[in-house]
Each structure stands twice: as C-alpha cells, then as structure tokens.
C-alpha cells in the first residue's frame, strides 16, 4: 500500500498510513481473531485464553477513552 500511496499526487503518505494502521491496532487487540496475525499469537500460547480476553478488554477501554 505504501508504494501505491506514494504515487497519488497531493496525498500525505504518513496520514494515509495512520488511517490504515490505527484501526488495525484497535481491532487486533480486542479478540484472538481480530487480525491476520492474532491467531498466531493466540495459538502459540504466548497469551492464554482468559488472559488474552482480559487484555483485550483493558486495551479496548483504553482505545475507546483515547479515540
């Protein structure tokens, strides 16, 4: 996407990348299947099931308060 964004005249690439990445961070933390890489983290056992959901709720509240 970054290569395509650079080709569009009059568009600030940093602004467009933030538009693409901020929602990914919000969705990725909420559930184990919110983004493409979340199932890998969940299946690896890095965070256990209840802990993943608890952290998702905590960070979800933080994101809602900020945004």
> Please, which pLDDT band fits residue 1 given cuts at 50, 70 and 90?
low
Q: What one-character DSSP code corresponds to residue 8? A: S
| pLDDT for residue 3 | 81
In three-state secondary structure terms, 14 is helix
Q: Give the start-to-end residue ranges of the domains of the chain.
A: 2-66
Q: How far is it, in rounded angstroms, from Cα 34 to Cα 52? A: 12
9-50 pLDDT, tens digit each: 888 888 888 887 777 766 766 676 777 777 777 788 877 778
The whole-model pTM stands at: 0.49
| Tokens 């900020």 -> residue | 66
What is the number of alpha carbons within 13 Å of residue 17 lying toward its C-beta? Answer: 9
Burial of 66 (0-12, 13-18, 19+ CB in 10 A): exposed
């Amino acid at each position: 996407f970054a290569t395509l964004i650079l080709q569009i005249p009059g568009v600030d690439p940093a602004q467009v990348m933030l538009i693409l990445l901020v929602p990914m961070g919000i969705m990725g933390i909420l559930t184990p299947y919110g983004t493409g890489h979340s199932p890998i983290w969940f299946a690896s056992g890095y965070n256990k099931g209840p802990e993943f959901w608890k952290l998702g709720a905590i960070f979800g509240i933080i994101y809602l308060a900020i945004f």
